[in-house]
A and B are shown apart, each in its own frame.
Chain A
Amino acid sequence: AQSVTQLDSQVPVFEEAPVELRCNYSSSVSVYLFWYVQYPNQGLQLLLKYLSGSTLVKGINGFEAEFNKSQTSFHLRKPSVHISDTAEYFCAVIAGGTSYGKLTFGQGTILTVHP
């Protein structure tokens, strides 16, 4: 069974600083990886996904993530954050071979951007 670990429950950062949100997964088979963002009292919005091909994936709002198979990681990065990036971020994985594409989520990382 796959699992996802988000290494930081909270990340405070100042506006215009770079940020990295860390995500590690465990799976014995190939994986497909996702990052979602959730603003307070709202649903989840897809930021980006890795299915195959280039290991560097670009998403919406200037975010990008890099799939590292040897490190079993899929860290999310942004070179310069804005106040509006304050939200909770979830890493999720689908393991190859599952019959219906079950998404397994990490516990979430709350990103707080300070002025």
Chain B
Amino acid sequence: DGGITQSPKYLFRKEGQNVTLSCEQNLNHDAMYWYRQDPGQGLRLIYYSQIVNDFQKGDIAEGYSVSREKKESFPLTVTSAQKNPTAFYLCASSSRGGFPDTQYFGPGTRLTVL
């Protein structure tokens, strides 16, 4: 079955530590996205990538970093510079990255900073 996988489902981190969230897709999609979800705020775009070896900042990129070395993978690193990293993180992909492509979402990773 084609789809998007995110791991781990739950992640705990101590303050001051970097942590990397995994996102893999086997849909052969060109574009991939990372969103952050906080209660009552909807989803906010962190980073997006339209093609391998290229990515762009979204609305809330500060304290985050990404890489896109392979078409199927788009890992997100939450750095110690992110002031309030506790949130639900969602990865998505779409076929072309141009509008109006439908974005398909993974199951999410819940990050808690202790």
Contacts and interface: CB of A to CB of B under 8 A. Distances in A.
Contact of B98 (A43, A44, A100, A105): A100
**Interface of A (DSSP majority class):** loop
Contacts of B102: 34, 46, 49
Contacts of A4: 42
B100 A32 contact: yes
Interface string A94-106: 1111111111011
Nearest to A34: B102
Interface residues of B, number: 30
Given A32-B100, A51-B100, A45 B40 contact: no
Given A90-B42, A100-B50, A102-B45, A43 B106 contact: yes
Contacts of A90: 42-43
Interface in A38-88: 41-46, 49, 51
Give the size category of A's interface with B: 20 to 34
Contacts of B25: none
B85 interface: no
A41 to B, nearest CB: 7
A51 B101 CA distance: 10
B105 A107 contact: no
Nearest to B99: A101
A4 B41 CA distance: 11
B74 interface: no
A31 to B, nearest CB: 9
Contact of B97 (A41, A42, A49, A101): A101
